[in-house]
């Protein structure tokens, strides 16, 4: 039986992962528009790079969470 | 000269790496070795930031490791400072390898890929030697654990940097190139 805490955390993680996946698709679709916008607003480069790095960090934290359960470090 | 963008790079790197350093150690620990990790995920991020933005990225990794080690295990100041200095040195060693080979972090041509494949293990080894030799001379570990520590560091950091850092460099360097903070010019 999966605990309520585990179910809740997993649901949040899955939604976060879905948001990141949708953001990835949106970035691909708007690549040309983004390149045009960057010419007048260069700070958008930083926003995009930092956002993608943070998304990657979140994905790694999710992987690490389940990895640590598998390794027996933590339990729920 | 310090400006807002450099501070932002350091702050973002530290902010990214801090939770990863605190919570993202998947494999390990090695009994008898303080702060050893078989898969040091934050390294993937601060290596990448250093290759893009130079010492400001490395400084972020240094700050994150210092804070994370202090909180996580209740280590002595020596262990915090030692590990954190190691994480400052490692990405800078990789940066020097790239500079010496005339490579670029977009990993497009053969020279870039070779610099990445050579630079990361060298950086991890140098850093592992630094961290665990200091630990040894401070009496934190004993000789039988020294080589285990160096090997763990070498494998753990290299593996994480390759797995985490490679897709980041490949996918984001083309954007970062447009930034005036990018330290490489063709």
A4 domain-assigned: no
Q: Quick check: B118 pLDDT over 90?
A: yes
- Residue A56 belongs to a domain: yes
Cis peptide preceding A60, ω within 30 of 0: no
- Answer yes or no: do A68 and B26 touch at CB < 8 A: yes
Determine contact: A27 vs chain B, CB below 8 A: no
Within a 10 A sphere around the Cβ of B84, how many other Cβ atoms? 23
Query: For position B27, what pLDDT does the model report?
Result: 63
How many structural domains are present in chain A? 1
**pLDDT tens-place string over residues B64-103:** 988 887 766 566 777 778 888 989 999 999 999 999 999 9
- Name the pLDDT band for A39 (thresholds 50, 70, 90): confident
Q: What pTM value is reported for the model?
A: 0.90
Give how far A42 is from chain B: nearest CA, Å.
7
Cβ pair B172:A52 closer than 8 A: yes
Confidence of residue B33 (pLDDT cuts 50, 70, 90): low
B118 vs A38, more confident: B118
**Residue B162 touches chain A, beta carbons under 8 Å:** no
Q: How far is B179 from chain A (nearest CA, A)?
A: 7
Cβ neighbours of B16 in A, within 8 Å: 53-54, 57
Domain that holds residue A40: 12-70
B2 in reach of chain A (CB within 8 A): no
User: Are the C-beta atoms of A44 and A38 separated by less than 8 Å?
Assistant: yes
- Look at B161 and B34; give whichever has higher pLDDT: B161
Q: Do A61 and B20 touch (CB under 8 A)?
A: yes
Distance CA A20, CA A58 (A): 9
What is B4-176's CATH number, 1.10.1760.20, 1.10.599.10, 3.40.50.1370, 3.10.110.10? Answer: 1.10.1760.20
For B44, phi then psi, to 5°, come to -55, -35
CA distances from A55 to A2, A18, A21, A22, A29 (A): 27, 11, 10, 12, 18
Residue A73 DSSP label: S
- State which residue of chain A sits closest to B21, comparing Cα positions: A61
Kindly identify which residue of chain A lies nearest to residue B25, measuring between CA atoms.
Answer: A64
Query: Cβ contact (<8 Å) for B179 and A67?
Result: no
Residue B27, chain A, CB below 8 Å: the answer is yes
| Residue A61 belongs to a domain | yes
């Amino acid at each position: 039986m999966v605990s309520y805490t585990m179910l809740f955390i997993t649901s949040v993680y899955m939604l976060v992962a879905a948001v990141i996946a949708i953001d990835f698709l949106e970035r691909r679709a708007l690549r040309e528009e983004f390149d045009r916008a960057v010419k007048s607003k260069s700070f958008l480069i930083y926003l995009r790079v930092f956002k993608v790095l943070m998304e990657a960090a979140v994905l790694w934290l999710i992987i690490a969470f389940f990895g640590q359960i598998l390794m027996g470090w933590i339990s729920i | 000269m310090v400006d807002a963008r450099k501070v932002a790079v350091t702050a973002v790197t530290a902010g990214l790496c801090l939770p990863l350093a605190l919570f993202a150690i998947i494999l390990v620990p090695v009994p008898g070795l303080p702060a050893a990790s078989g898969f040091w995920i934050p390294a993937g991020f601060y290596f990448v930031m250093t290759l893009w933005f130079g010492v400001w990225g490395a400084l972020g990794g240094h700050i994150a490791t210092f804070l994370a080690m202090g909180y996580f295990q209740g280590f002595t100041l020596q262990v915090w400072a030692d590990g954190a200095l190691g994480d400052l040195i490692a990405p800078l060693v990789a940066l020097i390898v790239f500079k010496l080979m005339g490579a670029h972090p977009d990993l497009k041509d053969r020279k870039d890929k070779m610099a990445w494949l050579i630079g990361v293990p060298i950086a991890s080894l140098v850093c592992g030697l630094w961290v665990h030799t200091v630990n040894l001379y401070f009496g934190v570990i004993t000789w039988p654990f020294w080589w285990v520590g160096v090997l763990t560091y070498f494998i753990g950091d290299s593996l994480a940097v390759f797995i985490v850092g490679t897709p980041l460099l490949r996918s984001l360097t083309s954007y970062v190139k447009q930034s005036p903070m990018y330290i490489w010019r063709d």
